[in-house]
Structure 1
C-alpha cells in the first residue's frame, strides 16, 4: 500500500556538461511521464512540448499525493548538468531510476546519481516550478561564481540567490542523498528562481549540440548527399 504520509522521493543527478546523451534520455522520460499523468500524451510531440511548457499546476495538483508527475529543475553551468527531481516514490520515479541506470553510458561522463529508496518526503519541494523542468543556464561555472568577492558583499546579491549557489556547490561534495537532506542542501523553488534572475542567461546551441548533431547524422543517413547546412534544426 502506498505511503500516503510521505509518498514522495527525490533524486539528484549531476554529470559532465558534454554528456548530452544522458541529459536527453532523462528529459524525454520526464516529459513522457508528465504527459501521461496529465492526460496530454495523445498530442504530437511539438504540441505536447508547448503544452507542457505552459502548463500551470493548480493548487490542488500541487498538493496532490497521487498525481504522478515529476517536478524539479535543471541547472547548466558549462561544466556540469544538475538535475534535481521529485515525484511519487512508487510511481514514475521508479521508472526514472531504472531508465537512467539502463541508459547510463559506459564511460566517466556520469559523475553522481544520488538516490535512496528508503528516504521519502511528505510534500513536493518544487511543485511551484510546474511540470516542464525549470532550466537555468548560468553565465559561468558555479565554482567561478563563488570566487567573486562581490558575491559576499552584503545586499549585492539576494540571499536566496547566494543560498542556491552555495547549496548547489555543496551537493557536489556529498556522496549520499541522506547527506543532502541532513545538510539541508536542497535549494527551494524560490532560491532557484532567484539564482536564475541574477545569473541566468539564455540557453545556447552548445548546451544541446549533441542532440542537433544526432539529427544531422540521421538526416545524412537518409540522404547521403545532404550537407549539414541543409538540415533545419
Structure 2
C-alpha cells in the first residue's frame, strides 16, 4: 500500500549549478525561496496550513549548503474509511530547550562530536532517528514520524502503550570518531603482525558508549480515548555504562591512545539546566481498548503471572507446587513417565521451538525458582484461565499458622498479558540456589558499587519485596513489569 510506504519513501532532487539548465518556473521558485523568511517557528503546524510538511535538507556540495523543500496536496491524502483503517499515529519531536553547556561548552561539542539528534524505538518497529542539528541551547527538530497504528495487532499495541514510557534519547555528545579511525602504525621494531591485527580489531570491535539525555514519554492516555497529547518532558541523564569485567590489556602507548580516543564526552548537566523536550502526539481515531479505564491498569491478555513466597523449610508447599508445575508441563508436551524425577529430567532437557513460543493455546508454565537459606521464590507465568488458575487453586495463599507454614501469593486474576516474558527459560524450572538470603544480599554495600552487579540484576534486587510488603499490589505490579 502506497500510504503505508510514505514514511520510508525518499524523493531525489537534482541540483543544477548552471543557469542554462533552469526553467522559467525554477527561476521564479528560486526567487521566492530567497524572499521567504529564514527563521521558522517552533511548531511547523503554525505556518504549514494545508501544506503539514516543510523540510530543510543539508546538502553541502557545489556551494549549496541547504535546500528547503515544501510538499503540498490539493486534496486529502486518505479517505475517512482509510483513516479509520490505518489510524495514523503522529509523533512530533518539536524542540529541545535549555540544553546544557556544562561541563562541556557548545564550541567543544561542535569540534569533537556529531551534530545533535534524537532517536527512539516504537514497539517492534525499527529505530527512528531525527535529522542532525547544530549544537545550541535550543534546538528545533520539527521531526514528524507517522506510525500506522491500525496495521498493528490491537493487543500488542495495547500492551505497549500501557507499559513503560517510550524512551526518547537526546544525543548531543556523540564523539565523532571518523577522523580518528586511522590504520595503526607499526608498534615497534620486530613486533609480531598478530599484535597489530589485535590492535585493529580492538578498535573496530570495542563498543563505543556515548552519554546522552533521556526523555520518557507516557503514551497510556491514548488508551483512555485521547487524540492529542502535548508535553514538555524533562531530559534526564542516561544510566552509566557497565564497567569492564577484566583488566585492560595494554601492549604500549598505542593501545592507551586507542582507549583514550574512545572515552565518552562527560555527561551533560541536564537537571541543573532544566532541559526539556517538547513532544506532540496525535492519533486520527481514538483508541477504544477493552478493560482500560482511569481507575485501573488491568489488561485482558491471555497470559497471567503469579508469584509464590514461602519459608525455606515449608517442604509441603514446595513439593505440591513443583508437582503441579511438572504435571502441567508434562501434559502439555506429551511426556509420560511413572517417576516425577524422570519427568523433571525430561523437562530440563526440553527445548521449545518458535511455534510453541508463540502459541497462545499451549497450556504450559514458564518462569524461575529462586531458593536461598530462608525463602522459596517462584515467579511463574502461563495461560491465565488454565495453568495459572490451576496453580492458584492447587496451592492457595495461607497466612494462618506459624511463619514456616505460611504461603504468600502475589496474584491478580484481572491482570492479563499478551505475550510471555520467560519463554526462553527451562520449562523444568530447576531451582537457582543462592549462597546467602536475598534480604542479606540487598543490604550489602558492595552490591550498590557500580560494576559489581549488572544493572539488570540490580533492578531486580530493588524490586524484591521485604518483610511487611508482601500484600502490596504495587509490589506485585513492579515485579511483573
Correspondence for 1:74:
369
Structure 1 partner of 2:326: 31
Whole-angstrom distance in 2 between the partners of 1:83 and 1:96: 11
**Structure 2: how far apart are the matches of 1:171 and 1:58?**
39
Q: Point out which structure has higher relative CO (alpha carbons under 8 A, 6+ apart).
A: 1
2:389 aligned to which of 82, 94, 98 = 94
Output the CA distance in 1 between the equivalents of 2:459 and 2:475: 17
Residue deviations 1:143-189 (CA, integer Å, cap 9, x gap): 111122111111122112222222224697242456422xx3237xx
Residue 437 of structure 2 is aligned to residue 141 of structure 1: yes
CA contact (8 A) 1:15 1:81 kept: yes
| Whole-angstrom CA distance in 2 between matches of 1:105 and 1:112 | 7
What is the number of residues matched between the two proteins? 181
Tell me the CA shift for residue 120 of structure 1. Answer: 0.7
Structure 1 runs of 4+ with >6 Å offset: none
Q: Secondary structure at the match of 1:97?
A: helix
Find the counterpart in structure 1 of residue 456 from structure 2: 160
Calculate the aligned-residue CA RMSD, in Å: 2.5
Pick one of 382, 392, 401 that aligns with 1:107.
Answer: 401
Alignment of 1:43 onto 2:337:
yes
Deviation at 1:6, TM superposition (A): 0.9
Greater shift in the superposed pair: 26-35 or 52-61: 52-61
**If each structure's helix is expressed as a fraction of its own residues, which one has the higher value?**
1
Cross-structure match for 1:228? none
TM-score, reference length from structure 2: 0.35
What residue number does 2:305 align with? Answer: 10
Q: In structure 1, what is the Cα distance between the partners aligned to 2:472 and 2:307?
A: 10
**Higher deviation after alignment, 4-13 or 162-171:** 162-171
- Is 1:124 the equivalent of 2:416? no
- Counterpart CA distance in 2 for 1:10 and 1:44 is 29
Unaligned 5+ residue runs, structure 2? 1-154, 157-299
Secondary structure of residue in 2 paired with 1:101: coil
Which protein is bigger by CA-based radius of gyration? 2
Question: 31-40 vs 130-139, which deviates more?
Answer: 130-139
- Contact 1:6–1:122 (CA<8 Å) still a contact in 2? yes
Inter-partner Cα distance in structure 2 for 1:174 and 1:82: 12
Query: Partners in 2 of 1:176 and 1:65 — Cα distance?
Result: 29
Give the Cα separation in 1 of the matches to 2:441 and 2:378.
19
